[in-house]
Chain A
């Protein structure tokens, strides 16, 4: 791609502990902090019946201490070292990350592996933290937009895990016990399903040596390799009246091949960018700039293991909903008829490529990216996505991706103020 700076990108260093736990490191010598990012294939998608919300609840409980760390001690010590930490549970995986000054990295690593792999799950802490999770649920229910998105996934993904709320539901949460949670942890936090990713200035680190002595080395492999179940998706439509909504929403969802099909992911990224990123993208230009029917229109590619989901949101007045929908359908259909110009594709390529390059500046983003890839056995280097981008042109987009993002393949949800 002419014009884009082509300075070589750093190479991830991969390794493995004797028990099969993967390690990946990426040296960013100029970064002011190191990011330690522990990943596990233990998102809400692996929850058995009756376990709704337990993956996320466990993520909360992890911070309540381990066999050797008191509740709150981890945060106190990490923050006293000048670092911070957080965690996130998704459909496919969970990760726990720490940002820390380089000189405190070894200590932080010991604390993190200890915390995550040997949770204490104290009963009174468990009851207290359940209240916190119920508050988190209540807080999300007070955002009508989140309620609408949850409905969209519930209606379109049928019985698949992606149709269920990561937070779980009240009844299920009230039924969980520390014992059931311990079993869940033991079942899923296994050597072959975990990965530790480290990005930042790594010069002084003896990572592997330290990890051989850590709780990470004691993990056992799982009995069977369980890949996430393929996405089930049913096109359809629904109209919903929501209290407290001020503007109407048109939401649409489409399935695309899962994250393992990386070429498809790049194509999806390119097409959603061409359609809805920036004033000159097709949907924004048509619906917001020219017709002035929407306050905003967004189209996001959610990269997921079972199958990616493309989600569209248009915010508009309720009386404009049907016109907005017709216009969006028109834009999508038009793409089938005529191959976009090279200039238009190049614009999208640069936006995607720069977005990617810009994200490589921050250790947390880099650790997350290489950590997630390693967790799911994707062993490309950082340059690869930029090369894949070059393999797409307008014709290939129209042939391969556009047909999958047509109105008749979508689940459409219209949410209006009650």
Chain B
């Protein structure tokens, strides 16, 4: 992204502040990315980061939870706080005229949350209920199972919502401890839209002279995967069998991650993508098929996902495994690479439609300790990549995937038989 309309500043205390002025509607989006997230949940406290995130907006500074909600909702604004794997993200979206009133809340949430016991109990109960309800979704079940296969009990091994037994035991003291550590590993604030005058003052002025001590997130290694081939299945009385085939790869910004991103575009972006065409258009085996490859500080998962009627489990499994094997055995064509590059470029433009999207993408990149213009650099670097570069990345990073199944017994047996006899599993 060009640097026109972009300013880099620093808040007293060390938090980098990026301002991205955008013409158009009078909207302000503010994102505070705090390094940590569910991968930093302390041992035996899985779910703590998300629980804390939920409680931060239930009272802070001079505002009770009710007063805070009245203030935010009363201005028709949105204020959310959520933990992801590598960070906790606070998002504010409001009419730019309301910035003076609402922007001060963001840092108050992290510096002086109330952590009222009763509100912690409520948030904990809600998270436990959500964990329970998620089991209704066979995709979620297959995904959670694959997460276990890929990361075991490591930092990326659990849903940010947590693990039931450990979440049950969390209370105010643990959250208090975590609050003191918020920002120690770095944080970054990004504002996009119509930027108010003197945003630093708005952000800091109700901290009663205190500053929030943090610094720009550093580039450092995140959690790694187990790198063990495995098969896991969960029997469920569904119509379809859900298949997830995946492995753990490399961090955002690492040497071969861009080649893998282009493979992602080739395989899973749009209706001309390889998996869509092969599984859906040519075989009619699925409605929903795609690739999951999120940005991570550590070894990011790279996952094919598909659901197919149980009586077609055998075909679906074979075709999906064949597509993975193809990546390892042969480079994609020049024409396929051109299309992948066009999609990669297109995705960038499509991801810049709203202030929130712009702020979000920059907060993510900066939160990973990467430069502000990382996305632009990637666009340039991608131009130079060849089919052979992508093939080498596949061979280096996509060996030995694991398979997660969720569905009826018969379908699981059929899929297991294909898996057992497939060259991908024997390699």
The interface of chain A, by Cβ under 8 A from chain B, is: 3-5, 7, 28, 30-33, 63, 71-72, 75-76, 79-85, 99, 101, 128-136, 138-139, 141-145, 243-247, 277-281, 288-289, 292, 295, 315, 343, 346-347, 349-355, 357-358, 360-364
Query: In the complex, which residues 324-372 of chain B have their Cβ closer than 8 Å to any Cβ of chain A?
Result: 338-339, 342-343, 345-346, 349-350, 352-355
Known contacts A5-B26, A363-B353; is A80 also within 8 Å of B129 by CB? no
CB distance from A33 to the nearest CB of B (A): 6
Contact of B136 (CB < 8 Å), options: A81, A136, A143: A143
Whole-angstrom CA separation of A132 from B279 in the bound complex: 10
B27–A357 contact, CB under 8 A? yes
B280 contacts partner chain A, Cβ-Cβ < 8 Å: yes
Whole-angstrom CA separation of A137 from B399 in the bound complex: 34
When C-beta atoms are compared, the residue in chain B nearest to A417 turns out to be B136
Most chain A C-beta atoms within 10 Å of own C-beta, residue among B97, B122, B269, B287: B287
Contact of B308 (CB < 8 Å), options: A33, A135, A246, A364: A135
B281 contacts partner chain A, Cβ-Cβ < 8 Å: yes
Contact of B129 (CB < 8 Å), options: A245, A247, A289: A247
Known contacts A139-B240, A139-B307, A361-B27; is A346 also within 8 Å of B74 by CB? yes
A79–B342 contact, CB under 8 A? yes
A-contacting 9-mer, from B107-115, B181-189, B219-227, B231-239: B231-239
B27–A143 contact, CB under 8 A? no
B392 contacts partner chain A, Cβ-Cβ < 8 Å: no
Whole-angstrom CA separation of A84 from B265 in the bound complex: 12
Contact of A30 (CB < 8 Å), options: B24, B240, B286: B24
B144 contacts partner chain A, Cβ-Cβ < 8 Å: no
B136–A80 contact, CB under 8 A? no
Query: Mind listing 10 A-B residue pairs with CB under 8 Å?
Result: A3-B75, A75-B271, A76-B339, A79-B342, A132-B284, A135-B284, A136-B287, A138-B239, A280-B73, A361-B27
Known contacts A280-B70, A295-B129, A347-B74; is A101 also within 8 Å of B307 by CB? no
A-B pairs with beta carbons under 8 A, tally: 185
A30–B95 contact, CB under 8 A? no
Known contacts A79-B270, A85-B271, A245-B136; is A5 also within 8 Å of B96 by CB? yes
Whole-angstrom CA separation of A343 from B73 in the bound complex: 11
B55 contacts partner chain A, Cβ-Cβ < 8 Å: no
Contact of B24 (CB < 8 Å), options: A246, A292, A350, A361: A361
When C-beta atoms are compared, the residue in chain A nearest to B132 turns out to be A246
A135–B240 contact, CB under 8 A? yes
Known contacts A246-B136, A315-B129, A361-B355; is A33 also within 8 Å of B350 by CB? yes
B238–A244 contact, CB under 8 A? yes
B137 contacts partner chain A, Cβ-Cβ < 8 Å: yes
When C-beta atoms are compared, the residue in chain B nearest to A290 turns out to be B122
Give the chain B neighbours of A131 by CB distance below 8 A. Answer: 284-285
B148 contacts partner chain A, Cβ-Cβ < 8 Å: no
Whole-angstrom CA separation of A256 from B130 in the bound complex: 31
CB distance from A219 to the nearest CB of B (A): 25
When C-beta atoms are compared, the residue in chain A nearest to B280 turns out to be A132
A5–B95 contact, CB under 8 A? yes
A280–B342 contact, CB under 8 A? no
Known contacts A5-B95, A71-B281, A354-B94; is A32 also within 8 Å of B240 by CB? no
A142–B240 contact, CB under 8 A? yes
Whole-angstrom CA separation of A351 from B77 in the bound complex: 7
Contact of A101 (CB < 8 Å), options: B277, B280, B339, B349: B349
The interface of chain B, by Cβ under 8 A from chain A, is: 22-27, 65-66, 69-70, 72-77, 93-98, 122, 125-126, 129-130, 132-138, 236-240, 269-272, 277, 280-288, 307-309, 338-339, 342-343, 345-346, 349-350, 352-355
Give the chain A neighbours of B98 by CB distance below 8 A. Answer: 3
CB distance from B87 to the nearest CB of A (A): 24
When C-beta atoms are compared, the residue in chain B nearest to A2 turns out to be B97
A278–B280 contact, CB under 8 A? no
Known contacts A82-B345, A131-B284, A279-B73; is A72 also within 8 Å of B277 by CB? yes
Known contacts A142-B238, A247-B133; is A83 also within 8 Å of B346 by CB? yes
Whole-angstrom CA separation of A235 from B23 in the bound complex: 49
Whole-angstrom CA separation of A278 from B72 in the bound complex: 9
Most chain A C-beta atoms within 10 Å of own C-beta, residue among B283, B286, B355: B286
Whole-angstrom CA separation of A219 from B424 in the bound complex: 52
Contact of B73 (CB < 8 Å), options: A33, A136, A347, A360: A347
B97–A5 contact, CB under 8 A? yes
Known contacts A135-B240, A135-B307, A142-B239; is A30 also within 8 Å of B76 by CB? no
B284–A128 contact, CB under 8 A? yes
Whole-angstrom CA separation of A128 from B98 in the bound complex: 53
A33–B286 contact, CB under 8 A? no
Whole-angstrom CA separation of A33 from B74 in the bound complex: 33
Give the chain B neighbours of A130 by CB distance below 8 A. Answer: 284
Most chain A C-beta atoms within 10 Å of own C-beta, residue among B27, B345, B352: B27
Whole-angstrom CA separation of A18 from B308 in the bound complex: 47
Give the chain A neighbours of B94 by CB distance below 8 A. Answer: 354
Give the chain A neighbours of B354 by CB distance below 8 A. Answer: 358, 361-362
CB distance from B426 to the nearest CB of A (A): 29
Whole-angstrom CA separation of A139 from B285 in the bound complex: 12
When C-beta atoms are compared, the residue in chain B nearest to A133 turns out to be B287
B95–A354 contact, CB under 8 A? yes
A357–B353 contact, CB under 8 A? no
Whole-angstrom CA separation of A132 from B125 in the bound complex: 39
Whole-angstrom CA separation of A373 from B94 in the bound complex: 26
When C-beta atoms are compared, the residue in chain B nearest to A295 turns out to be B129
CB distance from B23 to the nearest CB of A (A): 5
Known contacts A30-B23, A132-B284, A280-B70; is A3 also within 8 Å of B237 by CB? no
CB distance from A346 to the nearest CB of B (A): 7
Give the chain B neighbours of A364 by CB distance below 8 A. Answer: 353
Whole-angstrom CA separation of A355 from B25 in the bound complex: 13
Whole-angstrom CA separation of A361 from B122 in the bound complex: 35
Contact of A7 (CB < 8 Å), options: B25, B239, B288: B25
Whole-angstrom CA separation of A391 from B238 in the bound complex: 49
Give the chain B neighbours of A72 by CB distance below 8 A. Answer: 271-272, 277, 281
Contact of A145 (CB < 8 Å), options: B25, B129, B136: B136
When C-beta atoms are compared, the residue in chain B nearest to A134 turns out to be B309
B236–A244 contact, CB under 8 A? yes
CB distance from B296 to the nearest CB of A (A): 24
Give the chain B neighbours of A358 by CB distance below 8 A. Answer: 25, 27, 93, 354
Give the chain A neighbours of B77 by CB distance below 8 A. Answer: 354
B346–A350 contact, CB under 8 A? no
Whole-angstrom CA separation of A139 from B269 in the bound complex: 21
Known contacts A5-B26, A245-B136, A363-B353; is A357 also within 8 Å of B95 by CB? yes
Give the chain A neighbours of B342 by CB distance below 8 A. Answer: 79-82
A139–B287 contact, CB under 8 A? yes
Whole-angstrom CA separation of A7 from B26 in the bound complex: 7
Give the chain A neighbours of B137 by CB distance below 8 A. Answer: 143
Known contacts A79-B346, A141-B239; is A295 also within 8 Å of B353 by CB? no
When C-beta atoms are compared, the residue in chain B nearest to A76 turns out to be B272
Known contacts A71-B281, A80-B339, A358-B27; is A244 also within 8 Å of B74 by CB? no
Give the chain A neighbours of B136 by CB distance below 8 A. Answer: 143-145, 244-247
A351–B345 contact, CB under 8 A? no
Whole-angstrom CA separation of A3 from B95 in the bound complex: 9
Contact of A135 (CB < 8 Å), options: B138, B236, B282, B309: B309
